[in-house]
Chain A
């Protein structure tokens, strides 16, 4: 868990302050002879890419985009998941059936395929980075919320059967009060674990979409676009693909380790297993 936490903290640090550490911007090109594919040096810590841009700066910007997208998507998944999950779990019956069939429909599509479809439609006619980002949020948010909703529903169904919920109702508490003050605080643990673990998946999905050219558009240096643009020079300069690939692997590992570690800490049923 500590390994995951430290790795994740390093990534966050890279995303926040990384781009500020270098004198370059992620778009600054240098087409002078010898500047393309420059080897690592004091000026360019990880060298330069095919257009003479500083790789470290672009990697750090990539971290920013990966984490930013992941946070945005998790916010959407959390909001929708909590809303629909609480409604379904608390009320049950027809409400539950409708919401769960809706998640079933979303689950029926392969996640990535659905995301590709949505992203392709949304990014087809947009060029601005903001619209780009929004498209990614929606595409990945739509595929992420059903899992969260199911988790929240399951927890809500367990908690609402406990006696303190009956006790609250016997003292005049309404549905909203019970959901907000009794269900929500009691299911926050599993939800946090799921959020952290899902981060890894979302980061991977964003890189995939960007690699396929329907995520972040150039010149934005998503790790996915960086790997994609390194493909052309893969034989002569494999390190251009290696850097973002390693960064991606680190990010996925970090959040998986952190998620597993949190589960061991927070979930007493997993203790000792």
Chain B
């Protein structure tokens, strides 16, 4: 099943539909994504663009119904995850792919000591006794930069600040040394200074453990700082995929260009520091025909209203836009 030559994570043609009373909604539409071992891949997009759904589908955490994986394959080192047994997927969760969530305030059980929560995570995948799991938990909390970990482990989540809770979450997630960490907006709820600390921690874990990270965010600054490669999602599709250098120096898709232009530039004169993209992203249940970005696109052509552009390659960048014909 497992193939050492295969990429760590490969998502091919993934489509996820939600069945709602108002009709079916396609949240993710034909997404392709490849992540090599030890790599750091960013997944960028606005709310509702399908980035979190893609991540949850990878771990089969989407509630079915209403969600349905309409097509596609997800492979972990060549092993198909979507068809894996429930027992196997539970081994994968936490053991090989771990995930941390956006809000560290609600991601910890309020009535359990943090040390116990990390120890539980250890015991889910490792054959450790209570005492040993606790010891591993305390060591792990210390490694995540929590001072006086032995005493802090006996405290409850409400005694921790947001940044400290996110460190606890990361300690839980990496307790069983997964090969891939999916971080869904890990810094969004945190202060800017704390954001930098958490990113530094994730970077260190990547270097020390060779752990790959799939970073989901809407913050291009975070991507620039952390990732090697990045995919930009819009309305359930990946519209551009490139190395971080290429994306920031020569963004190809008009949406990516718009995103970069709408990021404040401190060196620009006041009033011109950023230009937001006009309009707002379409609701998932009323996406326009053709390229879903055309109502907001400054370069929209007649063909954009009718035909979804195919993926084309331009010097290592994959882009879905009629400006770049095959």
Instruction: Determine whether the beta carbon of B101 is less than 8 Å from that of A166.
Output: yes
A41-49, A114-122, A179-187, A222-230: which one contacts chain B?
Answer: A179-187
Residues on the B chain within 8 Å of A166, using CB: 61, 101, 107
Q: Does A169 contact B (CB under 8 A)?
A: yes
Q: Does B138 contact A (CB under 8 A)?
A: no
B33-41, B109-117, B298-306: which one contacts chain A?
Answer: B109-117
Instruction: Determine whether the beta carbon of A174 is less than 8 Å from that of B90.
Output: yes
> Across the A-B interface, how many residue pairs have beta carbons closer than 8 Å?
67
Of the residues B94, B103, B111, B120, contact of A170 by C-beta under 8 Å: B94
Instruction: Determine whether the beta carbon of A169 is less than 8 Å from that of B103.
Output: no
Q: Does B124 contact A (CB under 8 A)?
A: yes
Q: Quick one: CB contact mask for A154-166 with B, threshold 8 Å, 1 for yes?
A: 0000000011101
Instruction: Determine whether the beta carbon of A167 is less than 8 Å from that of B124.
Output: no
- In Å, the complex CA distance between A99 and B5 comes to 50
Q: Does A177 contact B (CB under 8 A)?
A: yes
Q: Does A173 contact B (CB under 8 A)?
A: yes
Instruction: Determine whether the beta carbon of A167 is less than 8 Å from that of B100.
Output: yes
- In Å, the complex CA distance between A164 and B106 comes to 6
- In Å, the complex CA distance between A169 and B56 comes to 11
Q: Does B99 contact A (CB under 8 A)?
A: yes
Instruction: Determine whether the beta carbon of B112 is less than 8 Å from that of A163.
Output: no
Residues on the A chain within 8 Å of B91, using CB: 172
A interface residues, how many (CB within 8 angstroms): 17
Q: Quick one: CB contact mask for B210-227 with A, threshold 8 Å, 1 for yes?
A: 000000000000000000
Instruction: Determine whether the beta carbon of B125 is less than 8 Å from that of A164.
Output: no
Q: Does A21 contact B (CB under 8 A)?
A: no
Of the residues A163, A164, A172, A182, contact of B95 by C-beta under 8 Å: A172
Residues on the B chain within 8 Å of A181, using CB: 109, 112, 120
Q: Does B169 contact A (CB under 8 A)?
A: yes
Q: Does A270 contact B (CB under 8 A)?
A: no
Q: Does A94 contact B (CB under 8 A)?
A: no
Q: In whole Å, how far is B123's beta carbon from the nearest beta carbon of chain A?
A: 10
Residues on the B chain within 8 Å of A174, using CB: 90
Whether A170 touches B106, Cβ cut-off 8 Å, given contacts A185-B111, A185-B112, is: no
Of the residues B111, B125, B169, contact of A167 by C-beta under 8 Å: B169
Of the residues A163, A172, A182, contact of B93 by C-beta under 8 Å: A172
Of the residues A164, A169, A170, contact of B109 by C-beta under 8 Å: A164
- In Å, the complex CA distance between A167 and B93 comes to 10
Whether A164 touches B108, Cβ cut-off 8 Å, given contacts A172-B91, A173-B124, is: yes
Q: Does A171 contact B (CB under 8 A)?
A: yes
- In Å, the complex CA distance between A185 and B95 comes to 25
- In Å, the complex CA distance between A245 and B94 comes to 60
Of the residues A163, A170, A172, A186, contact of B125 by C-beta under 8 Å: A172
Residues on the B chain within 8 Å of A185, using CB: 109, 111-112
- In Å, the complex CA distance between A52 and B87 comes to 70
Residues on the A chain within 8 Å of B31, using CB: none
Chain B residues 36-77 with CB under 8 Å of chain A are 59, 61
Nearest A residue (CB) for B91: A172
Q: Does B98 contact A (CB under 8 A)?
A: yes
Residues on the B chain within 8 Å of A177, using CB: 120, 124
- In Å, the complex CA distance between A172 and B61 comes to 10
Q: In whole Å, how far is B130's beta carbon from the nearest beta carbon of chain A?
A: 13
Chain A residues 183-202 with CB under 8 Å of chain B are 185-186
Whether A171 touches B98, Cβ cut-off 8 Å, given contacts A162-B106, A163-B106, A164-B106, is: yes
Q: Does B16 contact A (CB under 8 A)?
A: no
Residues on the A chain within 8 Å of B27, using CB: none
Q: Does B164 contact A (CB under 8 A)?
A: no
Q: In whole Å, how far is A86's beta carbon from the nearest beta carbon of chain B?
A: 16
Of the residues A163, A164, A170, A173, contact of B59 by C-beta under 8 Å: A170
- In Å, the complex CA distance between A172 and B173 comes to 10
Of the residues A163, A171, A182, A186, contact of B172 by C-beta under 8 Å: A171
- In Å, the complex CA distance between A171 and B111 comes to 19
Q: In whole Å, how far is A32's beta carbon from the nearest beta carbon of chain B?
A: 62
Residues on the B chain within 8 Å of A167, using CB: 99-101, 107-108, 169, 172
Residues on the A chain within 8 Å of B110, using CB: 164, 186
Residues on the B chain within 8 Å of A169, using CB: 61, 93
Nearest A residue (CB) for B55: A170
- Taking A163-B103, A181-B120, A182-B109 as known contacts, 8 extra A-B pairs with beta carbons closer than 8 A to each other, sorted by chain A number, are A164-B107, A168-B109, A171-B98, A172-B90, A172-B92, A172-B95, A172-B176, A177-B120
> What are 17 inter-chain pairs, A to B, with CB distance below 8 A?
A163-B106, A163-B107, A167-B99, A170-B93, A170-B94, A170-B99, A171-B93, A171-B98, A171-B176, A172-B90, A172-B93, A172-B95, A172-B125, A172-B176, A173-B94, A177-B124, A182-B112
Report which A residues bind B (CB closer than 8 A).
162-164, 166-174, 177, 181-182, 185-186
Report which B residues bind A (CB closer than 8 A).
59, 61, 90-95, 98-101, 103, 106-112, 120-121, 124-125, 169, 172-173, 176
